Each structure stands twice: as structure tokens, then as C-alpha cells.
Structure 1
């Protein structure tokens, strides 16, 4: 065994070694080729970044050259150019903003940020100083700024690989847009502006003539170099001739014409013989032709670089494809060679893996898995099945269950039904049965099984799965009982339970609804509420209320008048709530209805009784007022006559009558007070009885009460005993109410006592104490 393993390992090692001997050198060559191509692609990509940056600088250079001329003219001869200067400043600001955005992207790669920032600061300072400079200072300062821009173009050419372009045609195009045209454009514009000024003055100095001669050579040399370089590029790439020749020739001719005009002026002495306008037009024509050539050459160069990148990319893909093809071929040969050695090993390994996988599935399945004989013996089972049946191990299950039909199923015919279904269909699905667990508990299971047969169709055994569905069956039973309870409540509740569909038609109608509205369930189902329990004439209004209800998500409560089958009008409390499906869509409404007609009638009767009581109370008050008036009139006469008789008795000195008359007068006053209190009953009922507080002598008040009550004491042959000291002090209270209280107590004692003794005791203490004593029969 070990020898076979060593032989297999040695064979594999030899194959791998042969493959590596070939692959390593091949991969190294391919890697170097691709790396070289990637360098070329990166080189050209960086050149394109430089072209993009310089194109933005060229867009800035043109308005900057024009701004130099306008500033010079504005400060020297023409103050009306202020609007043009402002417009030119706006254009320059836009171009500067564009370059700012580009510099944020490319500045780190092209190393331009420092120079560009310095350029912007120089421009800002120059713009702010324009009004303080003279024309020549302004011209010189702008020239310095333009030259800085040209230097930035040259810097980008250096940092973007443009200056070292390796292909002949693209190199001369680069030479034109990076090193030749930008300085030539600046110099041409400067010479144009200088000659225009000299033509305006109609004279030229020797120094100016020398300066123009030097500047002219700075124009002529790059102009000829560009023309010569383009001829070389045409020869290398004939396609460029058709694209560029017209603009190259136009720029070359226009520049030479401008140089010839300058040369004529140089030969004419110190007096300017050529008109100012001719200088300006010729110079402007040359500048425009140079800019136009730049705008033609720059995108053409970018296109050449893009085509070079595409060629590199295609070459890279060709190499990669060829490499993959070679590697694929070698790999296939290696695989075919090794296949004969590894096929058996792979088959054995796959078989072991399949067995292990099946064993893991079998052992770890959450459902029971079994194989049984047609006679009812278990051939195999997994741990999940033993757990479902309540056994501690598979071995115990197989040993104990030797007759499935007799030992397992609760229903003795269930195994026969299982076998019949498999005999007919070869499979059985969702076969639900109740079985005995090991400990005798009842378990619900669901079986899925199939018949396994031999080549001749003879039945070998059954195999399948078992799922414990006891919790589901218990839930179903709980749900059934819950539904029964709910149905019982619906059938026996005193509240009408009505279910409506979205069209406000009855879907459910319980017995309480039958009792309240008079319609049987069959009569109500499918009918609209309008015409059933509300008038047909109110159908439109009812539909509006119904649609508003459907738009809500909570419950609503209302009290409405409804019609019964026999036409009676009843008052009902309604509680409505919408029914929602699983997607939260409204599918109907359920209403709980309570007939409150009798309660409302009772409320109405109670209101009527209250109104009658209030009316009786008002009548009572009116009666008391009338009665007190009728009593007060003669009583005032008695009090008045008693006072007159008392005065007359005093005048005639009949002292014996005076005490009796005083008693009559005091009793009349007391009775008058009582009548006045009758008028205050309404105040008492409202809880607003008023007290009139005063300070009075207690002994005198008690003596006055005793004098007044004396006739009542004697009426039932009673005697009154008074225990009251003469100097008890004073009380701060309502004298009338205190006296009335004592009088009421003594009156009651006199009324219910016969031939007895009534005792009134008045004394001082922490709390006033009053005692009444009675004797005799009462």
C-alpha cells in the first residue's frame, strides 16, 4: 500500500516538474513583453495628459495676448476700451477656473500646481495694478506673465513625456505645439503691437529697430522649424499631409508675409512708411493662423497617441491570447497525461466523499430517515427517527420495533393503508398518522416514502422520511377550538356582529343582528345597507360615509337611527373597524351594533321628569312667596298694635299689661323672622344661605328664648327649668339662627312632652354644651 502511494506521488511530482520547467521560462518572457508594452501605454497616456493640460493653457494664451494689447491701448490712447477689457477679464476668469479644475486632477502627476499657483497670483496682482501703471509698464508686465504661461507649457511637455516622444511623426507634432508655436505666437503678438505703436507715432528709433530685428528672428526660426518638421512628419506618415498641410502652409505664409512687412520697415530708415492698420492686420492674420495651426496639430497628436495606445493594447492582448493558448495546450496535454494516473484515485475519493456526505446527512438530518421491510421490520434508521419515537438510540429502536403495524400505529389498519398506497403509486406523500411513542405518548407524524425494487421489479424494501407534526396538530386543534369559541360568542352575544364587503354589502350576520333588525341571515346576506337598515333615499350619503370609513385604519364609533324589517326606527351604537389582508389592503369592515333604543327612551323620560321637578320647584317657590306675603301683612299689624298698646299702657301706667304685650311683640318679631326665612328656602337649596354675624349677650338671648317659649311649655302642662348664669359672656354669631335653633329644640321638647319638666342648661366650656332635659309622659 505504501509502495503504491509512493509510486503515485513520484509520478505526479515528475509531471509537475516537467510542466514547471516549461512554464517558468515561458511566463518570464511573456511577463517582460507585457511589462514593456505597459510601459509604452503608460508613457503615451501621460503624453495625452500633457496635451490636455496644454490645450487649456493655449485657450488661456489667446485672450491673454489680446488683453495685453487692449490694456496698452486703454492706458495710452483709447479710454473707451474699458468695456472690452471687462469682457476680456471675464473670459480670462472662465479659462482660469477651467484650468483650476484640471490642475486639481492632473497637478500632482504633471507637477504643475506650484507654477500654476504662482501664475494666478501674478495675474491677480497685475489685474489689481492696471490702473496704476502706464502703458509701457503694463505691456512689459503682461509680457512677463505671457512668457510664464509659455514656460508652463514647456514644463508640461517635460513632465508629461511629450518632449521625449519616440515616434517620428508624433515627435514633430509635439515639437510644434510644445516648443515652437507657443513662443512664436507670443513674439508675433509682441512685434505686432510694437510696430503698431511705432506706426502710430510715425517714427522708429535705432533701439526699437534693433529690438524688432531680434524679435523677428525669434519668429522666423520657429516658423521655419515647424514647416520643416511637418515635411518630415508627412514623409513618415502620409495621412498627416491631408489633415495638416493646408493649415501649415497658411501659418507659414501668413507669418512670412508679416516678417516681410517688418523687413520693409527696417529698410526704410527712421520714418515709418507703412500704415498702422497694415501692421495690425498682417500681425493679427499671422497670429490667428498660428493659433489655428495649434488647434489642428494638438488633437491630431492626441489621436496619434491614442492609436499608439490601441496598438500597444492589441499587441498586449495578442501576446496574452497566444500565451493562454500555449498554456492551455500544455495544460491539456498535462491533464490528459495525468488523467490516466488520477482517474482511479479521483473515483475512489469521490466515492468516499459521497459516502461521508450521505452519512453526515443521514446522521444529522432533523427529520427521521428509515428503511423497512414489507413485513414491518426496520432495516436502518437515523438518530432523528429514534428521537422522534422517544428511543435513546437507533439500536434500541430497531431492537424494540419488530412489528410496525402492531406496535407503532394507533390505528391498526394504518400500516395496511400505507402499503396499499405504495403498491398503487410506488410512492406515498404526506401520510399523516398517530403513533405510540416509547413512553406511551401519542405522536403525530407525516411520512414520505417510496418502494425500492430490484431489476425484475420485485419489492425489496421501503425507504423514506418521517416528520414530527405534533406541534402543528396541536396548533390546528387550538385554532379549531378558538374558532369554536369565537363562533359561540358570535352566536350568543347580545351585540349584532355584521361584516361588510367593500361595496357595503352584508357578508356575515349573527343571531343578535337578526334579533335587532328583524332580518334573517339569508335575507340580509348580499344586500346593501341602504334599503336594509337605512333608507334607500340616503344611499348616496351613506356611500360617501362608507368611502371615508374605508380610508381610515383605526376604529370609528357613532350613534345612528336605523330601520328594522317591520319599519320601526331604533337607535343603535355602532363601532366599525376595517379588515386588512396580509399586504395591509382593506378587504372589508366589521361592525359591532348595540340597540340602545330603550336606554335613549329612559334618558328622554328622565329629562321630562327633571323638567317636571324643576317646574314643581318653581311652583313651590311661588307658593311660599305668596304664603309669606299673606302671613306677613296681618303679622305686621299685630306687631304694630302690640307696640301701640305697650306705649298706651305705659302712658296710663298699667304696668301689669306691659310684660304680656312685650311677649306678644317678641313672639311677633320671631314669627316675622321665620316668615322671612321661608323666603330664603331657595337660597338654602342653592347652598347660598347668608349669615349676619354680630356680638350678643348669651344670657339675654337665653332669657328672651325662654320668655317666648313659655306659652308652649304651659300648653301641655309642662314646667321649664332654666340653668343659666347671668354673666356667661358674649357670642359672635348670627343671633337669629342661634335663637331659632334653641327655639326649635324647645318647641320639639314642648310638643312631645306632657306634664313633665323641660330643662335648659347654658354654660361655658371649650366647646359650647347645650343640654335639654325632659320629664313626664313625653
Structure 2
């Protein structure tokens, strides 16, 4: 007996057989009918549909045989699957492959065998359809063809079975995916409905197909009303084009986008929304539309608008020439940016006995002229009327409708003019009411805390407006002193334009933010704002000191000397000027050796000198330049050989040759000073770039003059070295006690 070898493709053949999931399955009529037909056509007692696996041949269908399988080693079919066509064994005893086979020699006594391999469309022989007899015989040609046809029918049944199995598997997979998709959609819906933001989804037709409950609650409309383009009924008419163009561009690019617009809330109020759209893609990468969210940013927009208003008012006040002009512009800017129709200012009289009507007022309409004329004739003692009460209480007042308020002294005039809601705001400076602003509108209105907060923030302007009063008084005083008139006028004009304008804005805005009028700030923000405000207050103090320049020249200025750490002093100067240097990409260097750790000086005055030097260095040094602040010790004898300002030599005899000086000096790589201009240094109102009254570089021309006088008050001196085109070094010599 010969055992059939394994087919070359045995592993793939066995894998293919497993895919049909037919081994050890129950009998099936479709296969049994084919087996019966084979036995009948071939007139044999036995007919089989046999499938050959790794160890056996298993009979899917059988006629004339009780066994369900036999060993593969003794099976005739294991030889048949090696062929591409029918295997016929007319007499097994005469065939050396089978003569001693137990199936031939044993009880079954097989003598005749004819089998056709069951070949799949992929070319795998899975088994056979065969007929068997116990006597030798031959098959006719029609019988052979019939057996081949039956083989093809068996394979067709196997293929049908496999496709049914695959269809069943696919159906189960689709059902699983559909269930997973429904579960995913339900999770998304639950998540979306519980989200605090408005969520929507649209499709390739740019039609919205989903809104979460948050959206529907916000708009007060049903899903059926909103889907498609129905939601656009709530879009503010003035924002439709803006939204549409942004959305269309993002849709065409299949890219994320953000856009702000106003959407009508259920109560009819339009709220500012920040919409963010993110493109959706199918698993295959096909664009499917957008998933979007909307966040109500109305409060943020209000803060931005409030901040812009405050900046506008602050700058306008700063630019005003006098106190009443500042009040006028403050009232006008507030009315223009809000719903208030009319605004007026009340100020304490010179004797502080009553509140008087200021010339500053503003009206959006001419119909209030008579109301204004009547107000000009009034005064309010303390605690009388809105101005008088606020003067004492220092608190805001809101009246829903003054025309019907019996406590309002001008109720008849308000009624005649149509004025109703009223807001009174105190403007404070150093905890003193310097002005009361009163605003009116033509409709009654409940108290609006946001509007109160907005206009109350303008109380920070009290310091600036008070400064306007001080400036006005200074100008009047200077006019009476002819010998100082020109000097003071030039000084105030220069300093006001050069220093006070940016400083007042910094102080006002940082003060408002620190008081958290526009919302809470975190610790780091508070720290930075405090640094800004502190630096601003320091500069304001220095500006006020400049107003005392006459006292310095008269020798009446007092110094407040203390032990000062030299390195800390220099580092403070560097920190103040650093922002300006960074803006020009300049390098700031600090070189302070430990030879002198501390010195007794007026810290603020010496810091003022260093800041003058450093500011000039930054100003006259090009982008990318280097500025160095350093210190060193030198004997008094070297001072005589140093380039000193004009009119300094007559002071040199006071300096002992063996005295010791700490020299703080600022060096730069700037433009330098031409030799023919150096005699102008340290003189009041002199600038080396002056030409017919025009200045290339901003400045008052007082910085070096003040530095010189402050150094001399300390018993020290100033000096300089400079070469045009190569840079300059400015020094202050301070005696070491």
C-alpha cells in the first residue's frame, strides 16, 4: 500500500477547507441528493462526498456506507486530491497503490473506485465526490461526465454555503457596527446635551442636522425650527454677511475656523457668540461637514468695549488743556459710547460751601438746552440734591425715573425735557470728591451694575483731572512771576507732552485693572500690574520733583540721605529702563565691583540721575547697541582732568585732592556728540540735535541739567566723554564718606 503524499499547497488547502465551516456538520439534503444521484448514475452500491483534512477523510454525505470517516493514510480520496481530474481504479487488487489497503483487504472489500476532486475557484482540492463498488468495473464516458458535473455541483453548494456564512458574518458585523454607532451617537448626544456650550453639526449641503439641548434652550426654539438654515433667523442682520463669508471660506478649505457674531436669545436679547467650527471626516478621509460650538462672550466683549472707552477717555483727558476741558471731553466720550443722552459736571465752589455747575456738559440733542440753562443757575449745599449727596457720601446714585421722583429738585424740568433714568458718579482724587458727574437718558431704566462699574471706573481719572487743576494753578502762579515765566512754561509743555501723557494712561489703566473693575485677575497678573503701577507712581513722584526745580536752583531743596546698597541702586535703574532697551534689541550690561558696597545718598535723586543717563543712552543708541552701567572708585585729583560741564571749574577748589569718589557711569555705543555741540550739554532746554526748533529725538533738554544740580547737592560732580559716531560715557561722581 502506498500512502499519498501531501499536496504542495497543503497549508493553504487546509485553511480554505476551514473557511467553509463544513467539517462535522449535520447532514444536508442538498448534498445527500447529489450523493444519491451519483450512486444511481454510476450504478454503484456506494457513493460519497468526502472532505480530506489533516488526519482523516470525513464524509459529508454517503450512500451504502455506515462509517462517517476513515484515516487519511488509507483513503483513496487522498490520492484523488493530488490530481486535477478524475481518478479511476478499475481493480484495486491489480493496483499496487491499493492492493494491500485495509479497505480493499478488509470487510469493505473495495475493488472499484472512481473519484473527482472538489476543486474550489481558488484551485484548492478539498475532497472528492466518488463512487465505490465491490467488484471490478469500468465507467462509461457519460457516467464520467456525470460524475464531473456532480463534482461541480458539490463545489457550487460549498461556495453557496461559504457565501451564506460570509453574509451572516457580515450581517452580524454590520449589526454590531450599527449598534456601536447608535451607542456612540447616544453618548455624543448625552455629552453634547450636558455641555454648557452650544453645539451643532452640519453636513455637506451646509445644512445643520443636530443641535444640543443647550442651543435649543438658548434660542427657545425646537430642533425642527433650527435644523437646515432655520437657525439663521436668530442671527443678527448686521452679522450675517460676516458669518457667511467666514464659514464659506472655511468650508471650501475644509479647515477649522472661528468667528464672532450676535445670536438672539430666547428673551429677545442679542448675545455675542464665539463660534468654533472643526471639520468632520469619514473613516475614508472624505469631508463630511463641520462640528461646531458657540460660547457666549458678551461679557468679554463688554470688558473690551469698556477698556477701550476708558483708554479713549483717559487719553482725551490727558490731552485736554485745562480742568473744565478735561471734564467736557470725559462727559462727551462717556455719552457717545453709552446710552446716556445728557451729561453734566458739578464741582465744589472755591470756598467749598456748595457744588456749582461746571461749564462742562454734553447733550446728544438740542431739546435739553432749557434744562441746561436752568441747571446753570443752581447750587447744591452738602447732602442736598444728587450732586450734594454724592459730594458727601462719595458713592454713586442711580434713579430709575427722576421725573417722578419727589426728592429730585429738578423733577419738573426733567419731566418737561423727557429725562428719566439718572446716574451720579463721584470723581475722587486722594479720597476727595473733586467733581460729580451726572448722566441722564430719555427712558426709565432699572439699575444696571455693569454701566455703573464702567462709569465708576472713570473715578480713576480723578487724579488726572486734579492734575489738570494743579497745572492750571501753576500756570496762573507762573504768570505772576515774570523771571520764571518762560522757564516754567517751557518746562511744563515739555514734561506734559513727554512724560505725563504716557504716564497718566499707565497709572489709570493699571489702577483700574488692579481694582478688578473688569473682572478678577490671578496672582501673577496682579504682581505684574503692581510692578507697572509702582513704577508709574515712582515716575509721577519724580515729575512732581521736577516741578520743584526752582527750589533746587534756590538752594532750598532738601536731601533725604540714607545708606544705599550700590548694586541694588544700579539694578533698580536697569530694571526700570529695561523695557525700552528690549524694544530696541539693545544689550544692557551691569558691572558693579564690590569695592564699595554702600554709600550715603538720597536714593531717589541718584536713581533719577542714572535714569536720565540710561534713558539718553537708549534714545541715542541704535537698535542692537550695547549700554553699560558700571561703578568704580577714583581720587578727587582725577576729577580736574575730566571733561566737566560748562561753569563747573569754579567749584573744583572745594574738592580735596585726597578725597575719594564713587563714580557711576553709563556708557553706550550710540551716535556720540560732535565736539562743537558738547558745550551745550547740561544746559537747560538745550538739545544737540536742535535745528530751527525741530528735534529728531524727543526730550525736554532738562535731564542733564537736573542730573548736574542733584549731583552737586550731594557734594559731587558730573562729567562726560564722547566721540561723534563712537558713543558716549556720562558719569556722576559721589563723595564716599
What's the TM-score, normalizing by structure 2? 0.28
The structure whose Rg is larger is 1
Structure in which a larger fraction of residues adopt helix = 1
Structure in which a larger fraction of residues adopt strand = 2
What's the TM-score, normalizing by structure 1? 0.27
